[in-house]
Structure 1
C-alpha cells in the first residue's frame, strides 16, 4: 500500500478557521482539506438543511417534463415508469411511481430483464408500452444514449421523458424532455446526482406545482439515500443534504420494505456504510438473480407483513448471489494464474457459463486482488457482456471509449462501466484495452493508495474530538472518513489474528506509554509479525465507536501498518 499524506493547509488559515469555530486546529485542517473555508461553509457542512436544495426548475427541460406529465394526467393517458435493474434504477422507479400513484391511478412500472433485455431502455419495453396503450414513458437512471430505442418509440407514438445522470454521447435522444445534470447545456448547480436523485428533483418540481413543500417529500428520502450510497456518487453538496435526511428517515420512519430488510438488525443507528453493505446488496440481488421488479414491489409495498415476505424472498436471492460470487471469483483467479495475466496492466477474463448477475461483483473482487483495471466477460445470447471496474485515479470509461471500434455498446462511469461485443471482437478488444491502459495509466496507480488526512498523536484523540468527527458524516466519495497516521506505536502484547483463518488483526496499542486504544484491521491478519514482541510500528486508521456489552469506547479501524517508521 502507498501511504500518501495530504498537503497541510496554510497554518494561518487553519488557525483562523479553528478559532472562528471554537475547535482545535486538526479539525480546522480537516475542514479546509474538504474545501470548507469559512464559518458559513462550516454551517452548511455541519448543519445540512432541506433549504439548501436547489430549485428543480434550474435543471434543463424540467419545465417541459412537468408540463408533459401534467398533460398526461389531464388527458387520462397511461404512464410507464421505466428504470434500470440495479439499486439506483429500482429505487428511482419505486420513488416516482409511488409519488405519481398518489395523484393518479394509470401508472405502471417496468424493469428490463437483465438477461433477456440487458441494460437500459429496450425494444421489448417499448413493445410492452405499445401493447398496453401507454403513450408516455419516464425513463430513470437510463435513456441518455437510447437514441435508436426512443426513435422507435416515436414511431409507435410513444413519448419519452429521460431522467439520467450518465454522461451523454455526441447527441441527445429525441425525447420530450431530457433531465441530466451532465448535459453540457444544463446549468444546474450540482451535477453529481444519482438517477434516483434526478427522479427526486422531478417529484420536487411536480410537488411545487401542487402547493406541496419539501417537507412533504421527506418520506421518499430513504430511497434517495439508499441510491446515493449504492451508486457511489460523491456525498457532497446536494447529495450530502439528501443523504443526511434520508439516513434520518431510514433510522426513524423507513418505508415498510426497508424496515423489512433491517428490522432484525441489532444496530441502533444505520450509517451510509450499513446502507451500502446491508440494504443495497439485497435490493440488487433481485435484479441479479431473478428480476428487478421484485425489488420495486418490496420498496413500494405499504403493508409490513407483506413486505417481510418479499424481503425473505430477496434474502434467498442474496444468499444464492453470495455463493455464485464466491465460486466465480475462485474460477477467475485460477484463470488469471494459469494465463499469467497478473503481469499485465489489465485483468480481462471470460467464461461463457459465468452468471451475468454477479460479474460486476467479481470484477470488484479481482480489482481488489490485483489492483488493475478489470473486465469480467460472460456470454449472453449471441453476444459477450462484461462489467468493468477500475482503480482509483484511472478513468475506465475513457479507456473503453478508445476501444469503441471493437465494442458494440458501452456505458457507465469513471470507475464502473458495462459493455457488450460480438464474440469475434473479444481477442481484438482484449489486446486493444491492454494497449490503451498500459500507454495511458500512471504506473503508481497500480499500487493501492491510502490517502492520509493528517498525522496525530494518541493524546489528541479525545471524546470531544470524536464528537466533532462524527458530525463530518455521512461519509463517502468526496467526503471520506478522516484517516490518520500515528508513529512509534506498540502493541501491549495481546495482538492476535481473529476470524476465520485468523484473517483479521486485533490489537491493543499504545504510543509513548499513553492510554491504550483497541484496534481492528480487517484483512490485516498476515501482518501479525509487524507487531510481535512489542516492536514499534506505524499505522494509518480511522476512528470509530466500539459497542460491546453495553459499553462504548473509541477504537482504531486499522487500514494498514508498517514496521518502524517505514512511511
Structure 2
C-alpha cells in the first residue's frame, strides 16, 4: 500500500521567521520551522517547550470539586475510615490505582485497592466491587479512570453508607452520579484549563491537591511520575501542555530511577540500558501491564506496580509476560479471522466503517483487534463478542473522527457505553447488533470526511541527506516526548538511490535494510523499511525514488543515525501524484 503524501511548503514569510527563530535558539531553520508549525513562534515559548517545568503545572484546586474531594479524604483519614482505591483494568486504570494507593499508603494504613474482573464484573463500578467494599468495612471509594456513568451503582453504594470520589476523564452525560466529588476536566461545568488528562493524570492532580492541602512537599510526588508517563503514552492522550510536562518528567524518572515494579517490566522487555521513549511504553511496557486484565485480572498488574521487593517483582513480571505472549497468539488469530470476514464482505468497501461480531472472540482482546482493523482499512471500527445474552464491544477510530459521538448517536440501542474521541466501549443486546450496525454506519457515512478513510502521511519538511547531521538529530530529541498532537517530525527526501548494498531482511524477508545516497552529497545514509519488501526489486533496479521517514537512533549501534522509512515512492508513482508535493 502507498500512502497519500500531504505537504504544505513554508511561505517566504515563514522561512524568514524560521531563520530568525533558529538563529536565536542556535538550531537549524528546519527545526525552527517545526516549532512554528506547532504554534511556537518566540524564543520564550520555545524554551518553555524544550524545558517543561513542574512549577508550571496547573494549580489542582482550579479543578471543580477538588476542594470537596480533598476535604472528604482528610475527613476519612481523621475518622480512620477504611478507604478503597478502585480502578479500571487497563493500563490507565492500573497505573492510576497504583499511584494513588502508593502515595496515600505512606501516610495512612487503613487502605485497600480493587480492580474489577473484566470477565466476571465487566467495565467500571460493579455491584460485586461495592459488596466487597461493604464486607471489608469501606466508607470511602476513590474510583479512577471510570465511574462517570455509574449512576445506579453509586446510588447503591450510597444506600450502604459508602461515599465515592470519582477521578475520571471520559465524557460525562448531562446527569452525573451522586458522588461526594467528581474530578473530571471534561465536565461541562469545569473551567479547568487542560481537558486532556488521562485517568492517572486526574488521580495525580488529586494527590497533588491533597499533598498541597496537608503541607506535603511536591517532591514527594515526583517518584510517581513514571506511572503517569506510562499512562499518558499507553492511553494515547495528547502530549501537550500539562500532559507534556508530566510525561517529560515521568520519562526522566522512568529512565533514571523507576519504581521496582516498572524496573522489573523494563528488564523483562529487554529495555534495560536503553533510553526509554514513549514508543517503548506503547509497544513494550503498556501491553504487558494490559495483558493481565485482558487475560485474567488486572489486579495482578497493580500488585506488580506497587511491589517493593525486586526479587518478587521480577517473578510477577515474568508471569505477566506469559499473559502477554498468550494474548499475542489470541490477538493474531482473532485479527486473521476478522480480516478474513472483512475481505469476504465485498459490500464493506462501500461503507465508511466496519462493524464485526463473533460470539467466540475473547472479550479482553477485541479492543486490540479493532485497533488493528482501523489501521489496516482506515475506517472507524467496532468489534463485538457475546457476553451472556448481551454483546460487548470496543470501538476505535481514524484521525479526526469522533467515534464516541457516533456510538452516542445509537444510545437508544445501548445498555451502556463510554469513552472518548478515538476509543470507546459499548454493551447492547445481541439481537440488536444488526440495527446498531446500520445506524452506526449511517452516522459515519454522514459525518466522516473522505480523506479520513485514506492512508495519509503528513510531511513536516523536505530535506536533503546533507541536512541530516548529529546536531540535527540531537536537537530533534528535544522535541520529545512524542505522542498525539506532538508527533515525531516526518521528513521527505526526493530522488534517492540505492548505494548498491540494500538488502531484504527479517524472518520472512519482509523488511528492507537500506543504504542510500542522494544527488546533493556523497554520504551514505542507513535506513530500515519495515514490511516494505515489495519495493526491493525497484530499489535494486538503480532507479531513483522518494522516501518519507523519521530520524532515529540505531538501537543496536549507539550514536548511529538511522532513517525509519514510512513509505517508498518510485519515480512513476511520483509523476502520477505530483500535485501532492
TM-score of the superposition, structure 2-length normalised?
0.95
Structure 2 residue 248 is the aligned partner of structure 1 residue 244: yes
Structure 2 residue 81 is the aligned partner of structure 1 residue 95: no
Could you report, residue by residue, the CA deviation over 1:134-181 in whole angstroms, capped at 9, with x for unpaired residues? 111111001111122212211222111000111111122211111011
> Contact between 1:6 and 1:451, CA under 8 Å: does it hold in 2?
no
SS in 2 for 1:385: strand
**Partner Cα distance (1:2, 1:413) in 2:** 27
2:184 equivalent among 157, 163, 180: 180
> Contact between 1:359 and 1:386, CA under 8 Å: does it hold in 2?
yes
Shift of 1:341: 4.8
SS in 2 for 1:324: helix
Shift of 1:220: 0.4
Q: Which residue of 1 aligns with 2:86?
A: 82
Matches within 5 A, 1:21-100: 21-100=25-104
Matches within 5 A, 1:490-529: 490-512=497-519, 513-529=521-537
Q: Which residue of 1 aligns with 2:303?
A: 297
Matches within 5 A, 1:385-400: 385-400=392-407
Structure 2 residue 158 is the aligned partner of structure 1 residue 154: yes
**Partner Cα distance (1:6, 1:417) in 2:** 33
Shift of 1:20: 2.1
Q: Which residue of 1 aligns with 2:6?
A: 4
Matches within 5 A, 1:179-258: 179-258=183-262
1:323 equivalent among 325, 329, 340: 329
**Partner Cα distance (1:482, 1:8) in 2:** 15
**Partner Cα distance (2:287, 2:517) in 1:** 37
Shift of 1:342: 3.8
> Contact between 2:504 and 2:510, CA under 8 Å: does it hold in 1?
yes
Structure 2 residue 547 is the aligned partner of structure 1 residue 539: yes
Q: Which residue of 2 aligns with 1:270?
A: 276
SS in 1 for 2:541: helix
SS in 1 for 2:568: strand
Q: Which residue of 2 aligns with 1:306?
A: 312
Q: Which residue of 2 aligns with 1:561?
A: 568
SS in 1 for 2:375: helix
Shift of 1:8: 2.5
> Contact between 1:50 and 1:214, CA under 8 Å: does it hold in 2?
no
**Partner Cα distance (2:382, 2:534) in 1:** 28
SS in 1 for 2:401: coil
**Partner Cα distance (2:246, 2:347) in 1:** 42
Number of residue equivalences: 566
**Partner Cα distance (2:133, 2:322) in 1:** 31
Could you report, residue by residue, the CA deviation over 1:301-340 in whole angstroms, capped at 9, with x for unpaired residues? 1011111111111111111101100111111112222332
> Contact between 1:222 and 1:246, CA under 8 Å: does it hold in 2?
yes
Q: Which residue of 2 aligns with 1:422?
A: 429
> Contact between 2:86 and 2:114, CA under 8 Å: does it hold in 1?
yes
Could you report, residue by residue, the CA deviation over 1:67-108 in whole angstroms, capped at 9, with x for unpaired residues? 000000000111111100000000000010111111111111
Could you report, residue by residue, the CA deviation over 1:265-315 in whole angstroms, capped at 9, with x for unpaired residues? 254211111111111100000000010100010001101111111111111
Shift of 1:547: 4.0
**Partner Cα distance (2:333, 2:56) in 1:** 46
After superposition, the Cα gap between the structure-2 partners of 1:142 and 1:6, relative to the gap in structure 1 and judged at 3 Å, is farther
Q: Which residue of 2 aligns with 1:406?
A: 413
1:164 equivalent among 163, 168, 172: 168
Structure 2 residue 340 is the aligned partner of structure 1 residue 334: yes
> Contact between 1:147 and 1:173, CA under 8 Å: does it hold in 2?
yes
Could you report, residue by residue, the CA deviation over 1:198-243 in whole angstroms, capped at 9, with x for unpaired residues? 1011111111123222222111011111000100011111111111
Structure 2 residue 375 is the aligned partner of structure 1 residue 372: no
What's the RMSD between the two structures over aligned residues? 1.4
SS in 1 for 2:149: coil
**Partner Cα distance (1:376, 1:251) in 2:** 36
* Of 370-379 and 82-91, the range deviating more from structure 2: 370-379
Shift of 1:520: 0.5
SS in 2 for 1:408: strand
> Contact between 2:103 and 2:221, CA under 8 Å: does it hold in 1?
no
Shift of 1:525: 1.6
> Contact between 1:387 and 1:418, CA under 8 Å: does it hold in 2?
yes
Could you report, residue by residue, the CA deviation over 1:30-88 in whole angstroms, capped at 9, with x for unpaired residues? 00111111111111111111111111111111010000000000001111111000000
SS in 2 for 1:227: helix
After superposition, the Cα gap between the structure-2 partners of 1:465 and 1:97, relative to the gap in structure 1 and judged at 3 Å, is same
